[in-house]
Amino acid sequence: MKPGEGQRQRSGIIARESADAAGREGIVARPHAARAGLLRRLLEHEQVLAGLLLLPTIVILSLFIAYPFAKGIWLSVSSATVGNPGVFIGTKNFVKTWNDSIFQKAAQNTVVYTAIATVFKLGLGMILALLLNHHFRGKRLVRASVLLPFIIPTVLSTFAWKWMFDPTFSVINWALYRFGIITQRIPWLSNADLALGSVIIVNVWRGMPFFAITLLAGLQTVNPELHEAAAIDGASGWQRFWRITWPLLLPVTMVVVLFSIIQTFADFQLVYVLTGGGPANSTHLFATYAYQIGVATGLLGEGAAISLAMFPILFVIVIFQLWYIRRVEGA
Amino acid sequence: MAMIGGPRWKRWAYFYVPLWLYMIGLLFPFYWMVVTTFRPDVELYRSWRAATNTPLWTLNPTLEHITYLFTNTNFAIWLYNTMFIAIISTIISLFCGLLAGYALARLRFPMAGGLGASIFVTYLVPPTLLFIPLADVIRNFRLQDSPWALILTYPTFLIPFCTWLLMGYFKTIPKELEECARIDGATRLQAMIRIIFPIAIPGILSAGIFAFTLSWNEFIYALVFLSSPQEKTVPVGVVSELIRGDVYFWGPLMAGALLGSVPVALIYSFFVEHYVAGVTGSIKG
Amino acid sequence: MDTFDRDKKVGSRVDRRTFLKVGGAVGVVAAAGGLEGILAAQRAPAYAQVRKLHVLRWTDFIPEADGELKRQAPEASKALGAEVTIEFINVNDLQARTTSAIESKFGADIIQLLWNWPHLYASALVDVSDVAEPIGKAQGGYYDVFNATSKVGGKWLAVPHGVIGNTVAYRRSWHEEIGVKEFPKTWDAWREVGKKLKAKGRPIGQALGHSFGDPPTFCYPLLWSFGGAETDPSGKKVVINSKGTIESLKFFQAFWKDACDEGGLAWDDTNNNRAFHAGEISATLNGASIYVVAKRQQDKIKDDKGQPLYLDIEHGAPLPGGPAGRFALYVPFQHGVMSYGKNQALAKDFLRWLHQKENYGKWFEANGAYSVGSTKVWEEHPMWSKVDKPLRVYQAAARQARMFGHAGPATAGATQVYTKYIIVDMYAKAAQGQKAEEVAKWAEGELKKIYV
Single out the residue of C330, C335, C336, C355 nearest to residue C136, CA to CA.
C355
Question: What is the value of pTM for the model shown?
Answer: 0.81
Establish whether domains C52-164+331-386 and C167-327+397-450 are of one fold. Answer: yes
Averaged confidence pLDDT in chain A = 80
How far, in Å, are A156, B258, C191 from residue B213 at the CA level?
A: 14, 15, 51
Beta pairing, strands C51-58 & C110-114: parallel
Looking at beta carbons, which residues of chain B come within 8 Å of A141? 269
**Using an 8 Å Cβ cutoff, are B257 and B140 in contact?**
no
The shortest C-alpha distance from B86 to chain C (Å) reads 16
Interface test with A, best of C271, C339, C421 (most A CBs within 10 A): C421
Looking at beta carbons, which residues of chain C come within 8 Å of B46? 278
The shortest C-alpha distance from C306 to chain A (Å) reads 20
Domain of residue A265, residue span: 98-330
Reported as a pLDDT band with limits 50, 70 and 90, residue C406 is confident
Cα–Cα distance between A20 and B185 in angstroms, integer?
A: 9
The shortest C-alpha distance from C185 to chain B (Å) reads 27
Q: What percent of chain A has pLDDT over 70?
A: 86
At C49 the pLDDT is 66
Tell me if chain C has a CB within 8 Å of the CB of A64.
Answer: no
DSSP-assigned beta bridge partners for residue C58 = C89
Q: Which residues of chain A from 76 to 105 reach within 8 Å of chain B, CB to CB?
A: none
Single out the residue of C426, C96, A68 nearest to residue B140, CA to CA.
A68
B246 contact partners, CB below 8 Å, separation of at least 6: C61, C213, C214, C268, C269, C270, C272, C273, C286, C287, C289
Query: Per-residue pLDDT for B177 more than 70?
Result: yes
A13 domain-assigned: no
How far, in Å, are A219, B145, B230, B233, C86 from residue B237 at the CA level?
A: 40, 14, 9, 6, 15
For the ranges A11-20, A117-126, B55-64, B160-169, the maximum mean pLDDT occurs at: A117-126
**Each residue of B95-153: pLDDT tens digit?**
998 888 888 877 777 777 777 777 777 777 777 778 878 888 888 888 878 899 899 99
Q: Which residue of C has its CA nearest to B50?
A: C304
Q: 3-class DSSP state for residue C317?
A: coil
A128: domain CATH number is: 1.10.3720.10
Q: Which residue of B has its CA nearest to C298?
A: B42
The shortest C-alpha distance from B105 to chain A (Å) reads 10
Query: Per-residue pLDDT for B3 more than 70?
Result: no
Cα–Cα distance between C226 and A10 in angstroms, integer?
A: 82
**Each residue of C153-173: pLDDT tens digit?**
889 999 999 888 888 889 888
Q: 3-class DSSP state for residue B89?
A: helix
Is the preceding omega at residue C318 within 30 degrees of 0, hence cis? yes
The sign of the CA dihedral A146, A150, A153, A156 is: positive
Q: Where are the domains of chain C?
A: 1-49, 52-164+331-386, 167-327+397-450
**Helices C243-259 & C436-450, crossing angle to 10 degrees?**
120
For the ranges A317-331, B9-23, C250-264, the maximum mean pLDDT occurs at: C250-264
Q: Which residues of chain A from 135 to 154 reach within 8 Å of chain C, CB to CB?
A: none
Single out the residue of A215, A317, A323 nearest to residue A266, CA to CA.
A317
Reported as a pLDDT band with limits 50, 70 and 90, residue A228 is confident
Chains that touch C (3 or more CB pairs under 8 A): A, B
**Each residue of C210-243: pLDDT tens digit?**
888 889 999 999 999 998 888 888 888 888 899 9
Q: Which CATH class is domain B67-283?
A: mainly alpha
The sign of the CA dihedral C392, C395, C396, C399 is: positive
Interchain contact, A151 vs B268, CB within 8 Å: yes
At B85 the pLDDT is 94
> Measured in whole angstroms, how far is the alpha carbon of residue C371 from the centre of its chain?
9
Mean local confidence (pLDDT), B23-27: 91
Cα–Cα distance between A269 and A253 in angstroms, integer?
A: 25
Cα–Cα distance between B176 and B173 in angstroms, integer?
A: 9
Interchain contact, A153 vs B217, CB within 8 Å: yes
Q: How many CB atoms are closer than 10 A to CB C241?
A: 18
Q: Which residue type sits at A243?
A: R
CB pairs under 8 A between B and C: 118
Q: CA-based Rg of chain C, rounded to a whole angstrom?
A: 24
Q: Which residue of A has its CA nearest to B253?
A: A156
Q: Which CATH class is domain C167-327+397-450?
A: alpha beta
Please provide residue B86's backbone torsions phi and psi, each rounded to the nearest 5 degrees: -65, -45
Please provide residue C42's backbone torsions phi and psi, each rounded to the nearest 5 degrees: -85, -15
Cα–Cα distance between C148 and C119 in angstroms, integer?
A: 9
Tell me if chain C has a CB within 8 Å of the CB of A104.
Answer: no
Interchain contact, B132 vs A75, CB within 8 Å: yes
Reported as a pLDDT band with limits 50, 70 and 90, residue C246 is very high
**Each residue of B83-98: pLDDT tens digit?**
999 999 999 999 998 8
Mean local confidence (pLDDT), C55-70: 88
Q: 3-class DSSP state for residue B231?
A: coil
**Using an 8 Å Cβ cutoff, are B160 and B120 in contact?**
yes
B192 DSSP 8-state letter: I
Of A19, A69, A146, which has the smallest distance from its Cβ to B184's Cβ? A19
Reported as a pLDDT band with limits 50, 70 and 90, residue A180 is confident
Cα–Cα distance between A57 and B95 in angstroms, integer?
A: 9
How many Cα neighbours within 13 Å face the side chain of C449?
20
**Element (DSSP H or E) covering residue A56:** helix A46-61
Q: 3-class DSSP state for residue C265?
A: helix
At B6 the pLDDT is 64
Mean local confidence (pLDDT), B162-188: 77
Tell me if chain C has a CB within 8 Å of the CB of A103.
Answer: no
**Helices C357-367 & C344-354, crossing angle to 10 degrees?**
70
Cα–Cα distance between B28 and B202 in angstroms, integer?
A: 31
Averaged confidence pLDDT in chain C = 82
Tell me if chain C has a CB within 8 Å of the CB of A306.
Answer: no
Cα–Cα distance between C187 and B115 in angstroms, integer?
A: 65
**Using an 8 Å Cβ cutoff, are C265 and A278 in contact?**
yes
Interchain contact, A14 vs B195, CB within 8 Å: yes
How many Cα neighbours within 13 Å face the side chain of B165?
31
Q: Which residue type sits at C434?
A: Q
Query: Per-residue pLDDT for C7 more than 90?
Result: no
Q: Which CATH class is domain C52-164+331-386?
A: alpha beta
A24 contact partners, CB below 8 Å, separation of at least 6: none
Tell me if chain B has a CB within 8 Å of the CB of A234.
Answer: no
> Measured in whole angstroms, how far is the alpha carbon of residue C408 from the centre of its chain?
21
DSSP-assigned beta bridge partners for residue C88 = C57
Q: Is the complex ipTM higher than 0.95?
A: no
Interchain contact, A218 vs B103, CB within 8 Å: no
The sign of the CA dihedral A322, A324, A327, A329 is: negative
Cα–Cα distance between C397 and C394 in angstroms, integer?
A: 5
Looking at beta carbons, which residues of chain A come within 8 Å of C266? 165, 167, 187-190, 195, 275, 278-279
Q: What percent of chain C has pLDDT over 90?
A: 27
Q: CA-based Rg of chain A, rounded to a whole angstrom?
A: 27
DSSP-assigned beta bridge partners for residue C302 = C308
Higher pLDDT, residue C291 or A139: C291
Interchain contact, B23 vs A291, CB within 8 Å: no
Q: How far apart are the first and last CA of chain A?
A: 23
Q: CA-based Rg of chain B, rounded to a whole angstrom?
A: 24
B248 contact partners, CB below 8 Å, separation of at least 6: A159, B242, C270, C274
DSSP-assigned beta bridge partners for residue C331 = C164
Q: Which residue of B has its CA nearest to C63?
A: B244
**Helices B155-172 & B201-217, crossing angle to 10 degrees?**
160
**Using an 8 Å Cβ cutoff, are C390 and C396 in contact?**
no
Of B108, B133, B273, which has the smallest distance from its Cβ to A71's Cβ? B133
**Each residue of C168-203: pLDDT tens digit?**
889 888 888 888 888 888 999 999 999 999 998 889
**Using an 8 Å Cβ cutoff, are B230 and B15 in contact?**
no
Q: How many CB atoms are closer than 10 A to CB A193?
A: 10
CB pairs under 8 A between A and C: 115
Q: 3-class DSSP state for residue A229?
A: helix
Of A149, A170, A221, which has the smallest distance from its Cβ to B280's Cβ? A221
The per-residue b/e assignment along B16-27, b for 16 or more CB within 10 angstroms, e otherwise, is eeebeebeebbe
DSSP notation for C409-440: ---HHHHHHHHTTHHHHHHHHHHTT--HHHHH
The shortest C-alpha distance from A299 to chain C (Å) reads 9
